[in-house]
């Protein structure tokens, strides 16, 4: 279902600012346009999974109240504790029709990622003058929920809220994944991988969302300059599966620079752990928000 709530929010400031800094006045050149209209829509969905199991469910939503508007903030509300849990949830924009759901969906159709949330993660709040926009041709919004259930019970409600404006930003941002390689992780062994994705054009990297699973030991993201110098922008050690946060990067990357994704795992079991989407598999990746949107590409495959 889609619940739409429209309200004029022009007296309020958006972005990563303190309450004191959010006192807008006509003398503030960065104050919001008083003629603008800010609104929020909330996409509600109910998650479920087999007891002692996991499941990926997808839910399709109408785009009518988002098309032609700019997305300044995306806020996830997870289910209350005690029932099914969200391992993570992803918001996609798709160019084809998609059912309301729930639909079991181990793989997504051709789509554009808008944001990924995991327990311990933050809302996506764009800085002043920067916003996301639905790609041209978007027909549906799709929420993919990776659901875990440990006890019997009814489905649980969750939601994602999109805060939008009708004022075009100075910069349009986009999601850009930096995918790291994952080896077959041997029993009783520490494994490590480093993957560098070369930038195809100059871009500004605003934020990073590191992602691994249960065997993760440490994660590091860095910019590797064309001259070989290396600048670390996120270092998570020890890795905590329950605290997958988004980190502000706020750095420029030039064409020819690379984004390095560095993952370390420790396997305490007597079984191999392989790359994959299940919680019991492993992953290594960094979800970046960059601008301008047209620069959100890698020069060649990011492998």
pLDDT tier at 24, thresholds 50, 70, 90: very low
The domain 174-295 is classified under which CATH number: 2.60.40.10, 3.90.1580.10, 2.60.120.230, 3.40.50.300?
2.60.120.230
pLDDT at 152 over 70: yes
Calculate the CA 213 to chain-centre distance: 16
Residue-level length of the chain? 303
Question: Quick one: fold of 2-171?
Answer: Jelly Rolls (2.60.120)
d(CA 132, CA 139): 16
CB 66 within 8 A of CB 4: no
State the pLDDT at residue 4: 31
Q: pLDDT digit string (tens) for 46-87? A: 999 999 998 999 999 999 889 889 999 999 999 998 899 998
Which tokens belong to 88?
A: 């993570």
Domain range list for the chain: 2-171, 174-295
pLDDT tier at 15, thresholds 50, 70, 90: very low
pLDDT at 183 over 90: yes
- In degrees rounded to 5, what are phi and psi of residue 20? -65, -40
Are 2-171 and 174-295 equal in CATH topology?
A: yes
User: The whole model's pTM is what?
Assistant: 0.75
pLDDT tier at 279, thresholds 50, 70, 90: confident
CB 192 within 8 A of CB 212: no
* Complete DSSP assignment for 129-191: TEEB-PPTT--EEEEEEEEEESS----EEEEEEEEEESSPPSEE-EEEEEEPP---B-TTEEE
Distances (CA, A) of 7 to 38, 101, 124, 147, 148: 7, 28, 20, 32, 35
pLDDT tier at 36, thresholds 50, 70, 90: low
Asked which of 28-42, 195-209, 238-252 is least confident by mean pLDDT, the reply is 28-42
Residues near 26 by beta carbon (within 8 Å), at least 6 away in sequence: none
Strands 85-94 and 140-149: antiparallel
pLDDT at 30 over 50: no
CB 115 within 8 A of CB 123: no
């Amino acid at each position: 279902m889609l619940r739409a709530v429209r309200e004029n929010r022009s007296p309020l400031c958006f972005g990563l600012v303190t309450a004191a800094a959010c006192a807008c006045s006509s003398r503030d050149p960065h104050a919001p346009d008083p003629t603008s209209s800010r609104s929020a829509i909330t996409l509600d969905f109910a998650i479920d999974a087999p007891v002692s199991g996991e499941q990926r469910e997808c839910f399709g939503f109408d785009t009518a109240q988002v098309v032609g508007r700019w997305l300044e903030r995306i806020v996830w509300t997870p289910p209350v504790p005690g029932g099914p849990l969200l391992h993570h949830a992803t918001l996609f924009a798709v160019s084809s029709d998609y059912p309301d759901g729930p639909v079991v969906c181990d793989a997504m159709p051709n789509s554009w990622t808008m944001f990924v949330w995991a327990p311990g993660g933050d809302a996506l709040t764009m800085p002043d003058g920067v916003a996301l926009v639905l790609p041209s041709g978007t027909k549906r919004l799709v929420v993919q929920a990776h659901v875990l259930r440990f006890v019997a019970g009814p489905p649980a409600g969750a939601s994602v809220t999109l805060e939008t404006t009708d004022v075009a930003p100075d910069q349009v941002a986009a999601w850009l994944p930096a995918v790291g390689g994952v080896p077959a992780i041997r029993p009783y062994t520490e494994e490590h991988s480093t993957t560098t994705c070369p930038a195809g054009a100059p871009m500004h990297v605003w934020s990073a969302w590191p992602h691994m699973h249960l065997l993760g030991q440490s994660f590091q993201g860095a910019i590797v300059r064309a001259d070989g110098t290396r600048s670390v922008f996120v270092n998570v050690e020890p890795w905590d599966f329950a605290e997958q946060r988004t980190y502000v990067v706020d750095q420029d990357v030039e064409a020819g620079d690379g984004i390095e994704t560095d993952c370390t795992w420790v396997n305490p079991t007597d079984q191999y752990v392989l790359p994959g989407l299940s919680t019991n598999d492993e992953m290594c990746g960094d979800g970046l928000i960059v601008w301008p949107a047209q620069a959100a590409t890698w020069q060649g495959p990011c492998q």
